[in-house]
């Protein structure tokens, strides 16, 4: 079983990436170095529509893009379970056959699946999936926390690289203002409905934009939607 210290030490390799594309590659590279898997797929996740979208896959044969993958995770029971519980899940044998999605046809040699959610606080922003493992691989309840930790640490790195260090950055009022902006409310409408001055509304907007490292109102709203904070 891999120790938490080892996971935390190896995860630092991802932080050395010089750009976003290299960062994504290193997420899978380090994952395959740490854990007994023969391939790994990286997918992004949005709670809007329970949507999963493929990014890249890594195996001994090399790196490939899997952008053609686009699924509602509710049709993928194993993936949905991991995302819903925010914990790594591994199914094999009869359990795998019971919960595998009927949407895809797996080869006769495929009898296991591992799903590791990439999380940041209460948010799931993506996941890593593997269906190929070395012969004799044993993954059980004792080893799964190491996979979960990896997903948590990757989520923190990704959010830092996006310039967002804390999902609790916004105050209750700042978040309320940003939600109203997403509904199409103007400054005057917000001031009236919230019982504050237009100047105060503008200050809340300004501070929210600054805290999110956004360029403008629309960008700030997009960031909050991507994080799953705004619907």
The residue extents of the domains of the chain are: 4-161, 172-226
- Which pLDDT band holds residue 165 (cuts at 50, 70, 90)? low
Asked if pLDDT for residue 164 goes beyond 60, the answer is: no
Any idea which fold 4-161 has? Beta-Lactamase (3.30.450)
- Bridge partners, residue 70, by sequence: 53
Does the reported pTM lie above 0.85?
no
Place of tokens 């529509």: 49
* CATH of region 172-226: 1.10.10.10
- Bridge partners, residue 54, by sequence: 43
pLDDT digits (tens, 9 = 90+) for 68-106: 999 999 999 999 999 999 999 999 989 888 888 666 666
pLDDT digits (tens, 9 = 90+) for 28-77: 999 999 999 999 999 999 877 889 999 999 999 999 999 999 999 999 99
Q: Considering Cα of 43, then 46, then 49, then 50, what sign does the dihedral take?
A: positive
Asked if pLDDT for residue 1 goes beyond 60, the answer is: yes
User: Would you state the pLDDT for residue 162?
Assistant: 65
């Amino acid at each position: 079983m891999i120790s938490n210290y080892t996971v935390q030490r190896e995860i630092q390799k991802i932080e050395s990436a010089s750009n976003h594309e290299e960062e994504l590659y290193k997420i899978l590279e380090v994952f395959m170095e740490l854990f007994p898997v023969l391939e790994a797929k990286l997918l992004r996740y949005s709670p809007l529509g329970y949507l999963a979208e493929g990014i890249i896959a890594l195996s001994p044969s090399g790196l490939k893009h899997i952008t053609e993958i686009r699924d509602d995770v509710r049709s993928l029971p194993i993936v949905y379970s991991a995302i819903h519980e925010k914990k790594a899940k591994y199914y094999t044998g009869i359990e795998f056959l019971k919960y595998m999605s009927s949407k895809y046809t797996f080869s006769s040699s495929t009898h296991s699946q591992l799903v590791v959610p990439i999380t940041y606080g209460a948010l799931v922003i993506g996941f890593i999936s593997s269906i190929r493992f070395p012969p004799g691989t044993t993954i059980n309840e004792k080893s799964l926390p190491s996979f979960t930790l990896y997903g948590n640490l990757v989520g923190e790195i990704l959010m830092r690289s996006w310039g967002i260090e804390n999902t609790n950055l916004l105050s209750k009022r700042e978040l309320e203002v940003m939600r109203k902006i997403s509904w199409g409310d103007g400054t005057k409408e917000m001031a009236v409905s919230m019982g504050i001055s237009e100047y105060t509304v503008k200050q809340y907007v300004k501070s929210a934009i600054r805290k999110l490292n956004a360029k403008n109102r629309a960008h700030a709203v997009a960031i909050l939607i991507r994080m799953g904070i705004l619907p």
